[in-house]
Amino acid sequence: MKQERLRILGALVLTAMVSSFAAIPAAAQAKPVPGKLAGVVRDAAGTPQMGASVELVSEAVGVAATRGLLTNTQGMFRGDKLAPGFY
């Protein structure tokens, strides 16, 4: 009888432990890491374009993810701290 009680108690403790892990909200788990996107703006002849305005638009949200991106003297741009997704 004592062994049966211990077995039932052990099963209850195990069930409680498993339940507590399942109850952890998704927000408390791993958070997505911000991404980066870089590129070069060129004209039809392939010449890099200095000072071109670039807007990174999230497909999921439908709005610009960054503000004021301009290409440098080599036509390069870079957007940092982007939420995961398609742009």
Q: How much is the pLDDT for 39?
A: 96
Mean pLDDT across 37-66: 90
Inform me whether the pLDDT recorded for 79 exceeds 80.
yes
pTM: 0.59
Residue position matching structure tokens 């870079």: 78
Nearest to 69 by CA among 79, 59, 80: 79
Mean pLDDT across 58-78: 87
Residue 57 · residue 64 · CB < 8 Å: yes
Q: Where are the domains of the chain?
A: 2-82
Inform me whether the pLDDT recorded for 68 exceeds 50.
yes
List Cα–Cα distances, 61 to 5, 33, 46, 64, in angstroms.
56, 18, 31, 8
